Amino acid sequence: MEEDVKKTTMKIEGEVVVMKKNLLDFKDVMASLLDRVHELFGRRVSLHLISSHQPDPANEKRGRLGKAAHLEKWVTKLKTSVTAEETAFRVTFDWDESMGPPAAFVIKNHHHSQFYLKSLTLRGFPGGEGGPIHFVCNSWIYPSHRYRSDRVFFSNKAYLPSETPELIKELREEELQNLRGNEKEGEFKEWDRVYDYAYYNDLGAPDKGPDSARPVLGGSPELPYPRRGKTGRKPTKSDPKSESRLALLNLNIYVPRDERFSHVKFSDFLAYALKSVTQVLVPEIASMFFTSMTVVLSSPNGHTISKLRDVIPWEMFRELVRNDGERFLNRSAWRTDEEFAREMLAGLNPVVISRLQEFPPKSNLDSAKYGNQHSSIREEHIEPNMNGLNVLEALEQNKLYILDHHDALMPYLTRINSTNTKTYATRTLLLLQEDGTLKPLAIELSLPHAQGESHGSVSKVFTPAEKGVEGSVWQLAKAYAAVNDSGYHQLISHWLQTHAVIEPFIIASNRQLSVVHPIHKLLHPHFRDTMNINALARHILINSDGVLERTVFPSRYAMEMSSSIYKNWVFTDQALPKDLLKRGVAVEDPKSDNGVKLLIDDYPFAVDGLEIWSAIKTWVTEYCTFYYKNDKTVQTDTEIQSWWTELRTKGHGDKQHESWWPSMQTRDDLIETCTIIIWIASALHAAVNFGQYPYAGFLPNRPTVSRRFMPEPGTDEYAELAEDADVAFLKTITPQLQTLLGISIIEILSMHSTDEIYLGQRDSPNWTADDEPLEAFKRFGKELELIENNIIRRNNDKRFKNRTGPVNIPYTLLYPNTSDYTREGGLTGKGIPNSVSI
């Protein structure tokens, strides 16, 4: 009998890769010392493999546990380091061969402190087809007494719920229950692994007084909003519906530990923040910045430019202030109408412009509440600049376009203008010319009627002019339009439509899709760091008196305004082809790969974006087709159905009754849904985020606030405008401290971290054990590299004037950067990270 046991018992060699605590944590030295003491006293890190063939005698629904194995030589760490931060340890398992290949393992940390478990690899395992068995973990392991149940990790084999090996089904469900938290109450601790939902009720600080209070977003028809991650913090004393906030310098906001930034990312984030915000804290820089800007607007010189080099984005400024011996005012690229219009197609916010389909433009606001809000722009305003066309001809030829912020802003304009902001709701009309560029025709500036909103709007129309006070007035009109667009970009295009809407998908996926579910494996890279950056945003950016309220024109009404826009958000319209059709900038074309044809051929965001969209959809189609052979497989997937139900009824609960949600009854539903999620998290976010520093770092190009209204003839302000247009311009746009604070923030937001993982890349080559999906992912990467070449080629093609424009900066915001593994990071102006990570 003993000989039989010897024959079936074998030694299995494994390698465990771990990383100790955050390098920025100064307590780590003491923690490491205590861990060594624990190790010497036999309190070690143990691992038990779980059989996929033999049931546990104590619970026949689970696989049998193997004997405990321990990480070897923890104290001396004799194993060579994988990287500067990671260490590989040997581990040897005694394993009964009859138990078959392990499907999972349990790990118990009996040390004093936590560590990051990256992976376990078992080599030369019989039954493993001669290759290694990989367990990709990527999780923080706290001391075992912190957990109510064991930490379990599964091999990298993907299983639909119905195909899961019987002996790990219960473990699969138990792990999901742990992540749901079972309605856990009280404030969550850093070792809690709970994903749950909450309203945006933590933006205000009502205990400080009514001026710091903010309405709860989400949970009501009046103020709907996507849900955020729950923290469990206590309510405020003065308002039980509002959640208390941490001290400003306390960045330890709860998100599940595995959603926190890596130490590399956090190091980068703090370093970038320190570098940027330091500029705000040095008064000399602030004074120099605005003094120099005033000078350079009128007459640049080498001394001034050398000073400016240190405080604003020089790469952009070098192009904007090309000094060829003539006055900057006459040669500044950012002031040209062509650049103003081009940035609607290839700038920071290229997702709003639409085709004008009726003239004059009409409002969709409720006339019973807001009166007549239709446009006052008429043919006589625009036809003199329409290159010989009349309005009817231009409409028929799809030549008229509009940047329309009127309806979004008008309901809030009275309140916004009660603050230090003085601004308008704007409409900008443009003509598509034969060379593919857009030509501004008119800008309408509207205010609510002085007798009340129900009396409609009062509007003025401004048309292009180059010289004299008329030219200065036109520059101010463009500035007011840019202020509208800057605020809409930051609040809606960027925050709401990428950061906020994607967080419920992250929560639902972790609560309802097991880590071994193929759709979890597909989507998980696109959720990296999002909950953490959103928590930081609630803490310092979008909160009451936060950076956004201080630097963007809607001020204290910013988030409330974004809630009103969310009322019109439609998930299925986030698909790029549908978005382009909805805005009228494309028409249906069955012959096209994406089913659409652009009406503006040289629309860099759309041209590059459609190629990216197509590549993502092809990848998702190939991946989903491998696991889902037909529609019934989707219908009977219990986890997918629970995921989709919870996403609609809880995550985006204020929109649960909308008819446009996919039914999730077909494979096509699943493919389209996953494609949209990946598109939003990767390419859409990249397009509206990483251009902030290049395009908005020079504030006259993208002012975020206007401090006074358009000067009226006969006033002192009008006389000042006529005498010194540049001084008047700077007095109108964002003030000094706000400018520096805003530039500091957008510099941070535009940085790629040095651990960035781009679209078409994964953090581990062993993310799945299935060969066909691995091959499909390789094809996806190759397609993205081809798109990189296409973008370079188009940027070098002089026929496409919108690719570089007067500022001569190539459009690279949708350059995937899949081919780049240098991990250099920084201000590159290109690259599509997998996720909304900054």
State the catalytic residues.
494, 499, 685, 689, 838
d(CA 182, CA 330): 66
Answer whether 473's CB lies under 8 Å from 721's CB. yes
Q: What is the helix (H) or strand (E) element at residue 415, kind and residue range? A: helix 406-416
Residue length of the chain: 838
DSSP 8-state assignment for residue 662 = -
What order do you get walking across the sheet with 86-96 strand by strand?
86-96, 9-19, 115-122, 133-141
Distance between CA atoms of residues 727 and 730, nearest Å:
5
In three-state form (DSSP H/G/I as H, E/B as E, the rest C), the secondary structure along 73-123 is: CCCCCCCCECCCCEEEEEEEEEEEHHHCCEEEEEEEECCCCCEEEEEEEEC
- Are 106 and 50 in contact, with CB atoms under 8 Å apart? yes
Considering only CA atoms, give the Rg of the chain: 29
Residue 760 CB partners (closer than 8 Å, separation 6+): 777, 780, 781, 784, 785, 816, 818
What are the residue ranges of helices labelled H in 450-529? 468-488, 501-512, 518-523
Q: What is d(CA 609, CA 592) in angstroms, rounded to the nearest whole number?
A: 14
Q: Which DSSP category does 600 fall into?
A: S
Single-letter amino acid code for the residue at 457? S
Distance CA 365, CA 326 (A): 47
Q: What is the DSSP letter of 684?
A: I
Cβ–Cβ < 8 Å for 246, 253: yes
Give the residue among 701, 666, 665 at the shortest CA–CA distance from 806: 701
**Look-up of token digits 């850093």:** 190
* Closest to 259 (Cα-Cα) out of 528, 19, 511, 498: 528
* DSSP assignments along 781-825, one per residue: HHHHHHHHHHHHHHHT-TT-GGGTTTTT----TT---TT------
Distances in whole angstroms, Cα of residue 663 to Cα of each of 353, 369, 375, 784: 31, 36, 39, 31
Q: Are 143 and 112 in contact (CB under 8 A)?
A: yes
- What residues pair up with 459 in beta bridges, in sequence order? 446
Q: Is the peptide bond before 360 cis (omega within 30 degrees of 0)?
A: yes
Distances (CA, A) of 339 to 63, 98, 556: 65, 71, 31
